Amino acid sequence: MEYPVKVTINGAPVEKKVEGRTLLVDFLREDCGLTGTHVGCDTSSCGTCTVLLNGVAVKSCTLLAAQVDGEDVTTIEGMSQNDELHPIQAAFKEKHGLQCGFCTPGMVMMAKDILDRNPNPSADEVRAGLEGNYCRCTGYHNIVEAIQSVNA
């Protein structure tokens, strides 16, 4: 069975029909062509699929596309404006908060949520906020520094 979904994605209205079992991550990647949201573990453990739903970080592999009907979704593609990196993206670049880049979109989206709740978090607060978002390359030190540098 298909369900109509009207959602705002990165500021633009999107209307599509989806099967009831379609995950938000698959809807974003396959139906909307927004491949910056990655599929990692398929178990909601890694955080590579993190997006903002009404400004709050969520793992898009845990939601059905039909559940976001009428909501506002921001993906990594919606972070930069006019070909300018968002300050969080620029900080990740400047502080070398990425290596292979696979986890980076989810980390950036989680960082946005962390900083929206607390503009000047301590290193411990950043680490606690990143819990559930895994990086296998950097050891988190540079990611934490990047997030802390945004509003410093």
What is the fold, at CATH topology level, of the domain defined by 2-76?
A: Ubiquitin-like (UB roll) (3.10.20)
Condensed to tens digits (0 to 9), the pLDDT of residues 16-46 reads 999 999 999 999 999 999 999 999 887 888 9
Q: Which CATH number does the domain 87-149 belong to among 3.30.450.90, 1.10.150.120, 1.10.150.170, 3.40.30.10?
A: 1.10.150.120
Instruction: Tell me the domain boundaries of the chain.
Output: 2-76, 87-149
What pLDDT, on a 0 to 100 scale, did the predictor assign at position 117?
A: 97
pLDDT in tens, 77-98: 999 999 999 999 999 999 999 8
Residue 152's pLDDT is 67
Q: Buried b vs exposed e over 48-84: b needs ≥16 C-beta within 10 Å?
A: bbbbbbeeebbbbbebbbbebeeeebbbbbbbeeeee
Give bridge partners of residue 17 from the DSSP assignment: 4
